[in-house]
Chains A and B, each alone.
Chain A
Amino acid sequence: MKKDIKSMIQDKIDPRVLTVALVMAIIEFEILFFTKRLVNIAGQDAWMSIILGGIILLFTTYFLVTLALRFPRENFFQYLPTVWGKPLGILITLGYLVFWFVFSVLLLEEFSYATKTLFLRETPVLVPMLALLLAVIPIAAYGLISVIRSFQLLFPFLMVLLILAIILGLSKVELSKFLPLMENGPVPVLKGAIYFLGVPQGLIGIILFLTPFLSKPDKALLPAISGISIIICTVFFFMATSIGVLGVDYVKIAVWPGIDTLGSIQFPGFPVERYELWLTLPWLIGVFTTTTLMLYLISNGLIQVFNFDLKYRKIAAYLIAALLIAVTYVLPNYAYTLKFREYITILGLSFLHLIPWLTLIIALLRGKRGQYS
């Protein structure tokens, strides 16, 4: 199972790229309707949940970087058996693979549902899904470096439009819609913060798998913190505009509050309308990049677990993509997708926080560290 990836790939990545990689990996479809779930839990105090959850997320990021630096030339799946022992290590790895697979299925299902609902009513859902995956597979099959390079290319398109969308939304925010503060006490805020911790699914995939490819892994902390901070700010402002424009009660009944928020904006007399369409490109880019990363992680993880040669990664990527599409047809309707997505987010607390923290603690207690740490 041990493979020194760094020895196989000569290309090295500047640590500063970690910022871009994190933003691209984490921002996905959730940005359109994550607000709804958080508002269901914390009401108009959802912004507090994001700040509180964000602080904890920054700590997790610090621990993740610390863990990655302890094994700077190995990825997470490579040192899990070293830290936990081989059987447990493989079991945890398989757990991650299943978790990411289910997450990818839901992401794909959300993508096809939104495409069908908003844009391509008559087109069979298989077509946009195939188009997406056929574009994703070659990038994922070429390895993490190519995944990250594609992230770098797409980053400006995502962020510029998201920032414009947020500025538009903020212009119509009413502060009274955030009152009263803590109407139901601090418990919903805390629950919301915990829920928020399960949202950034791409976190582990970037920090614990990209470190071996960094030219200077010891410089990873600051870019990682910057990336997470950008995500926290983006999510915070996106959520604040949804609540401030639509109000809590409307956010609760909207399927995609982000679209309704921009859809409600108009400037009388100004000829440009339908600002909600501005979200189309960021949303597509978000789904594309996150799916790419997930496909890479799953295919690469399987190669590592079963000790296959890396040349089979492309075949693995195609097979997994086919399986992803097949499983989307198992989900009976979108209500199930929404429900499973909630479960995945809650489960994400273990996979994004608990297991990495425990891995670091056990590594410290057992004195385990990588060869070049």
Chain B
Amino acid sequence: MNKNKALGLIIILLLLSTGCWDAQDISQRAFVNAVVVDALDDNSENKYKITLEIIKPETIIRRDTRDEATIIHTAEAKSIADAVEQIQSRISRPISFGHIRLVLMGEEVSRRESIMNTLDYFIRHPDIAVRFRIAFVQGAEAREVLYAKPSFERFMTAELVAMTELEPELATLRTAPFNEFIGNLLGNKGTELAPRVLIQGKDEPVIRNGGAVLKNWKLAGWLSAEETQGANWLIGDANAVVVAQEDNESYTYKVDKQSAKIIPYTKDGELAFRVEVKTDGILRQKNNSKLDVSQPENLAKIEKLFSRTINNQVSTAIESAQVNFKADYLGFGQALRRKDPALFKTLNWDQVFPTVPVEVKVKARITRFGMTT
């Protein structure tokens, strides 16, 4: 054998043998689908109760089986890595985070300490791509979500992830892929509006709406579905359903196009903001109304009513951020920073935001009114 052939053989052997150390059959791994982080009480030696939901691939492939599609393991530990090691000692396949879809944060742990303590594990781990979703669970241990009854999917995480695909159609929940969430959280120095999950009961479906307000890197409180819709006029892009009422009459409007601008300006030397919201949409329903919507003046009247209603929603959302939470998760600070970075630097924004005057202007247009007048 000449030298070149020998060298070629060595290279091939070396290249092939690199896989031996790391050889792992894909069917012999325990793929984690969801990680749930709950708190243990302060007196406990361990800080966290970590739950992993692990997929059983054979039950996913064989859809006719009645076996559980996932296995759920919980460990009490000082860190997530510590918990993973404990859980690893209970199962025969190596745990893999390559296909993680969801991270659920419990209320207690989110209120107790910086969310970055937990997130650090996920953004540092080389197996975890930042495409998973994060949600905060209100009023219960977050792990209970995994035991709730899914409506269509085989297990609850799949149901929650499938719900995220409906997000463009639902304005009552906060939508944010993880990369957007973490980008906003870092950019706003620990303030952000995150998705919320509510538990109804063990065999009941969970509700995915509303929002979790984070301030100073910790959970500060919750927004209801209605409040979240108000906030979403400024930070979301989902198409809202608006119900406007006047006297005994009510009208329902489905937005199919919206835009919002936050415009900082100075008035008598004082900083102020103007919020301009524009919507286009379809009139979906009218109740107790005899108005003929084929008449432009009638349509204009209803448009004004919708504008007032949306204005109220936006104003309430701003008031909630300024008064209740004193936290700018609506993007006013970023709007000022983009327009006048020099001024923004001079301000202590956390102190300025709660008292800054905001004027709201809404122009709602009805572009279609359906099949009847």
Whether A183 contacts B341 in the complex (CB less than 8 A), given A120-B18, A266-B131, comes out as yes
Q: Are B18 and A128 within 8 A (Cβ)?
A: yes
Majority secondary structure of chain B interface residues (helix, strand, loop or mixed) = helix
Whether A263 contacts B129 in the complex (CB less than 8 A), given A127-B17, A248-B187, comes out as yes
Whether A247 contacts B183 in the complex (CB less than 8 A), given A263-B129, A264-B129, A269-B165, comes out as yes
- A119 proximal to B (CB < 8 A): yes
Whether A263 contacts B130 in the complex (CB less than 8 A), given A247-B183, A269-B165, comes out as yes
CB-based nearest A residue for B340 = A180
Determine the distance from Cα of A179 to Cα of B337 in the docked complex, in whole angstroms: 8
Q: Are A180 and B337 within 8 A (Cβ)?
A: yes
Q: Are B10 and A122 within 8 A (Cβ)?
A: no
Which of A88-96, A129-137, A198-206, A215-223 is near enough to bind chain B? A129-137
Q: Return B363 CB to nearest CB of chain A, in Å.
A: 22
Q: Are B11 and A260 within 8 A (Cβ)?
A: no
- B14 proximal to A (CB < 8 A): yes
B257 surroundings in chain A (CB, below 8 A)? none
Q: Are A130 and B164 within 8 A (Cβ)?
A: no
Whether A250 contacts B131 in the complex (CB less than 8 A), given A130-B14, A134-B10, comes out as no
Give the number of chain B interface residues (Cβ < 8 Å): 32
Q: Are A264 and B186 within 8 A (Cβ)?
A: no
- B201 proximal to A (CB < 8 A): no
The tally of CB-CB contacts under 8 A between chains A and B is 83
Determine the distance from Cα of A250 to Cα of B179 in the docked complex, in whole angstroms: 8
A143 surroundings in chain B (CB, below 8 A)? none
- A371 proximal to B (CB < 8 A): no
- B178 proximal to A (CB < 8 A): yes
| Selected contact of B18 from candidates A127, A249, A265, A276, CB within 8 Å | A127
Contact with B along A143-184 (1 / 0, CB 8 A): 000000000000000000000000000000000110110011
Contact with A along B267-281 (1 / 0, CB 8 A): 000000000000000
A124 surroundings in chain B (CB, below 8 A)? 21
Give the number of chain A interface residues (Cβ < 8 Å): 39
A269 surroundings in chain B (CB, below 8 A)? 165
Q: Are B338 and A134 within 8 A (Cβ)?
A: no
Q: Are A180 and B338 within 8 A (Cβ)?
A: yes
CB-based nearest A residue for B23 = A122
Determine the distance from Cα of A245 to Cα of B178 in the docked complex, in whole angstroms: 11
A253 surroundings in chain B (CB, below 8 A)? 123, 186
Beyond A120-B18, A264-B131, 12 extra complex contacts between A and B, CB < 8 Å: A118-B126, A121-B22, A122-B21, A134-B7, A134-B11, A179-B338, A248-B187, A249-B186, A249-B187, A250-B186, A260-B130, A266-B131
A-contacting residues of B (Cβ < 8 Å)?
Answer: 7, 10-11, 14-15, 17-22, 98, 123, 126, 129-131, 164-165, 177-179, 182-184, 186-187, 334, 337-339, 341
